[in-house]
Amino acid sequence: MTRKLYWEEPYSKEFAAKVVSVERQVVVLDKTLFYPRGGGVACDTGTLNTSRVQETTKTDDKILHALESPASLKAGEKVTGKVDWERRHRLMKMHTAGHLLSSLFYSRANCRITGNQIDVDRSRMDFNLESFDRTQIEGYVAEANELIRKDAPVKTYFLGREEALRLPDMVKLAQASPPAEAQLRIVEIEGVDRQADGGLHVSHLKEIGQIQLLKLENKGKTNRRLYYDLVGIGITRSPDLT
Ligand SMILES: [Zn+2]
């Protein structure tokens, strides 16, 4: 079992770990800050010593770091890992923005999120909404931006599954995809939203900047697709973020 340092200290950029196994380009460590791809969220990249980590994925109990070239690392060896912080931080902001939007869609229009792709340069969200009303959707984005301006802390903690599913606002999650774990990791935007979620988030809404609605698509009967980006003071876009 790889220890998920990224849950314990999502704002850390560098860590020391021990190599558990190496198979060709794939390295498993005893612990890691690298967030693996999954659930529609892009993964961390970075370095292990001097080797580039191209992709991070997961199995049931391990986090797999795929290097650019065959690893010179050996089991038992100590390594220093560094995540590409600008990328990671942007993914954290994108992900929290996604929760904020989905909570507004749910509370205002009772619509569910049916798919999402949280990525660095733009993110995508699919949801079911009877009408395809641009003004209505723009209104939810404006409301999300107002909540960001007002700011609120974002907290993560664990709850027993039974206890979590007794909370009225957790029903949406239970209906959508009841996770198998006995303990659920909860991500809570204070006063706004609570979801069971394994993702990484910013600790305050204001870090997001502002959500920019890029595009809306009509994907059939009740399926709508929204693309968004983030803009704001202090957010720099580097050309390699593609
Ligand atoms: Zn999430």
CA distance linking residue 106 with residue 88, whole number of Å: 27
Write out the chain's pLDDT in tens, 242 residues.
Answer: 999 999 999 999 999 999 999 998 999 999 999 999 988 999 999 999 999 999 999 998 999 999 998 878 999 999 999 999 999 999 999 999 999 999 999 889 888 888 899 999 999 999 988 888 899 999 999 999 999 999 999 999 998 888 887 877 665 554 455 556 778 899 999 999 998 889 999 999 999 999 999 999 998 888 999 999 999 754 444 444 43
Distance 172 CA to ligand 1 centre (A): 13
How far does residue 188's CA lie from ligand 1's centre (Å)? 10
Last residue of a domain, one of 66, 83, 100: 83
How many whole angstroms from 198 Cα to the centroid of ligand 1? 7
Query: Do 15 and 130 lie in a common domain?
Result: no
Please report, as a single letter, which amino acid is at residue 36. P
Which residues, in sequence order, are bridge partners of residue 80? 16
Contact 53, 46 (CB under 8 A): yes
DSSP 63-95: EEEEESS-----TT-EEEEEE-HHHHHHHHHHH
Domain that holds residue 59: 3-83
Residue 237 located in a structural domain: no
Compute the distance from residue 99 Cα to the ligand 1 centre, in Å: 6
153 Cα: distance to centroid of ligand 1 (angstroms) = 16
Report the amino acid identity of residue 226.
L
Terminal CA-CA length for the chain: 32
Same domain, 74 and 92: no
Overall pTM > 0.95:
no
Cα–Cα distances (Å) from 65 to 91, 186, 218, in that order, read: 18, 26, 37
Same domain, 145 and 33: no
Residue 71 CA to ligand 1 center (angstroms) comes to 32
CA proximity to 30, closest of 21, 20, 15 = 20
